[in-house]
Structure 1
Amino acid sequence: MAEHDVMLFDYWRSSAAYRVRIGLNLLGISYAGEAVDLLSGAQRGEENLARNPQGLVPTLSIDGVELTQSLAILEYLNETRSAGWLPTDAVGKARVRALSYAIAMEIHPVCNLRVARHAAALGSTTIEEWMKHFIAEGLADFEAMLQRQSESRFCYGDQVTLADICLVPQIYNARRWGVNLENLTRTNTVSARLEEIPAFAAAHPDRVRPLS
C-alpha cells in the first residue's frame, strides 16, 4: 500500500487519534497525516464536517472509504488486517471490549475537553479539577478490573489487544493533568511495558506534535 493511500486526520493530543496512530504503527501501515487543530475550532469547520459529521477527530481515509470513531476504526483494521487485537473466544472478546470501553466510553467522553470546558464555564469547578476527578476515578475502576483477572503481560493475556491501545493514551492524559497514579499497580506495570514497544512510542504526542 502506497504511503499516501492512507490519510489520518487527527490532532496531536487527541486520545482517540493517538489510539489510531498506535494501531497503524502496529500494523506497519504508512500514512500521511493532516492536522485538525482542535484549539482553533477547525474540527467544526466545513472541511472537517464533510468527512466527519460529528465534528471530531480522528478520521481515517483507507481502502477507498473514510472511517470515524477510533474504536470502530481499530476494529475495522483488526478485521481487515487480521491484527489479533481481540481474542478468538467470546469470553475473551467480551473481557477485552469491557476494558477498552471502560476507558473509551466511560473516562474519555466525560473528560473530553469540550465537556470539561462547559463544566468549568458553569462555575462549579476548574478544567483541571474536573479532569483529575474523573480520570482518577475511572482509572481506579480500570485497575480493579485488571486485579480481578489472572496476571498477564498486558491488559488481557500476553499479546497486545484493543484494551492496551486504549490504555496508553489515557495514561498520557492522566500524567498531563497531574493525576496521582501511585496506587495503580497493575495498570502502571502494563502501561510501562506497552510504552517500550516501538509502535506505541512512535505514536506519542510528543513525536507527532507540529513544529509550529
Structure 2
Amino acid sequence: MLGGLFPKVHDSVKVWKPKFYPNEKGYQDDLFHHLRTNLNNNSFFGSSNYSVRMESGRNLCDIAVERAVGIELKHNLDKKAKVDRLLGQVSRYMQDYSEGVLIVLTGETSTKTLEDLKYELRSINTGDSMGFSQKNIKIIEKKTPKLRTTSNKPKAKEPGSKKPTGKTSKPKSAKKPATSKKPAEPKKTSKKSNDPFKIELPKLELPKFF
C-alpha cells in the first residue's frame, strides 16, 4: 500500500530523536508526544488533525494513529523469547489496523534477534479479512543514547610522583672522594747482635756544662 497514512507515520518516526529513559514506558510517552506534534503541525497544505492516542488492551498496540496505523515499541529486544512474544502480538494486531503495524525498537537490540524478527515476520498474513489488500509491517531501529556515568574516584598517582610540600629540600652536598691512607710504617726495633764477643754499652747522658 503506497498511499495512505502509513508512509507519513513511518517518516515521522524516522526523524524522532529520543532521549535516554530507564524503561520502555518513557520511550512510549516520548514517541506519543512526538507523533502528536509532528503529524499535526502546520504545513504548506494546512494543518492536519490526526488522532494520535495511547492504546490499552490485549489486542492493541502501544500507540495508534487513527485506526489506520498501530505502533508497537519494544525496548532491549535481546532474547529469542522476546522475539517470539512480539511475533504473536503483531499477528493479532494486523486485524485491528487498516494500514498495518510499525515496530519501533529502542535500547540494545542484538543483531541475531533483529534478523530472527525480520525472517519470522514474513510468515505473518498481511492481507485484510477478505484477503485482497496487503497491509504494511515495518521495523524502525532507533539508536538511543546511553546514560553517562561520572566517576568521583581520585585519579591514580603516577609511579614515582611525590606529593609537593611547602618545605624546600636542600641539595645534598657531594661526598668527598675517599683518600687512600698510607700504610703505617713498621716500628724500628733494635736487633740484637749475634756476635758473642761484642759488648754493647748502655748510652749515658753526660752532664752539660755552661
**Into which bin does the TM-score normalised by the smaller protein fall?**
0.3 to 0.5
Q: Which protein is richer in helix relative to its size?
A: 1
- Greater RCO, CA 8 A, separation 6+: 1
Larger radius of gyration: 2
Q: Which protein is richer in strand relative to its size?
A: 2
Under a length normalisation based on structure 1, what TM-score does the superposition of the two structures give? 0.34
